[in-house]
Amino acid sequence: MDEQTNKEVIEMLKKAGAVITDSHLVYTSGKHGSVYINKDALYPHTESSSRIGELFAESHKDLDIDVVCAPALGGIILSQWTAFHSSKLKGKEVLGVYTEKDAEKKQVFTRGYDKFVSGKNVLVVEDLTTTGGSVLDVVNTVKNAGGNVVAVAVMVNRDPENVNSQMMGAPFSSLAVLKAEAWEEADCELCKTGVPINTTVGHGKKYLEAKAKTASL
């Protein structure tokens, strides 16, 4: 990870109001924590979104890439901008595709996009990794569709000790790192001390609704 790039990415996120600290948050993984990156706050700013794609493209310019793939929804924006800038750098068309969640919450290709990755060199990108589960799901989906995953890259890695190349089974990198602990509900100190859950960002609202529903049964 390049320190200058790390600083640039974090500054863009902060400028967009995307970095939230000292709160009780529920992540996509279901784990709890006190730091949250609301990446959706970044995407309305097209210049910043384009710059993230450009940084992904520049950091992988020496690889032979045919397709950029990312998980919906935010990943759609990243895959498009990364493919756009990769096309300019390489002087050829690099496609941008995405996976979507099925009924079992697994990342799958719909819309016939699997045919664009079969037999192709694929760069998998993602905005954030907390546990790395979602992006690993995309990696496996690309492989199952016959694609060759040449690299995996994320905008911000929140657990660099565990989310790495070994986990992904492919070269892995991040533009920035913002470490944040994530706890299982049973181990969450914020729950134990009664800190209210943030229902504005993250999955806190869904979490509380599901908890209330379970309690009423």
Query: Domain with 183 in it: what CATH number?
Result: 3.40.50.2020
Average of per-residue pLDDT across 110-126: 97
| pLDDT of 158 higher than 90 | no
Contact between 99 and 107 under an 8 Å Cβ cutoff? The reply is: yes
With cut-offs at 50, 70 and 90, classify the pLDDT of residue 1: low
User: What is the torsional sign of CA 65, 118, 111, 129?
Assistant: negative
| pLDDT of 36 higher than 90 | no
Average of per-residue pLDDT across 105-119: 95
Average of per-residue pLDDT across 196-201: 91
- Long-range contacts, stretch 138-145, CB < 8 angstroms, 24+ apart: 138/69, 138/70, 138/71, 138/75, 138/99, 138/107, 139/168, 139/169, 139/170, 141/99, 141/106, 141/107, 141/108, 141/109, 142/69, 142/117, 145/109, 145/114, 145/117, 145/118
Contact between 124 and 103 under an 8 Å Cβ cutoff? The reply is: no
Total tally of structural domains belonging to the chain: 1
Give the span between the Cα atoms of 149 and 126, in whole angstroms: 14
Domain that holds residue 130: 3-216
With cut-offs at 50, 70 and 90, classify the pLDDT of residue 38: confident
In terms of Cα–Cα distance, which of 10, 15, 21 is closest to 52? Answer: 10
With cut-offs at 50, 70 and 90, classify the pLDDT of residue 85: very high
DSSP annotation of 182: -
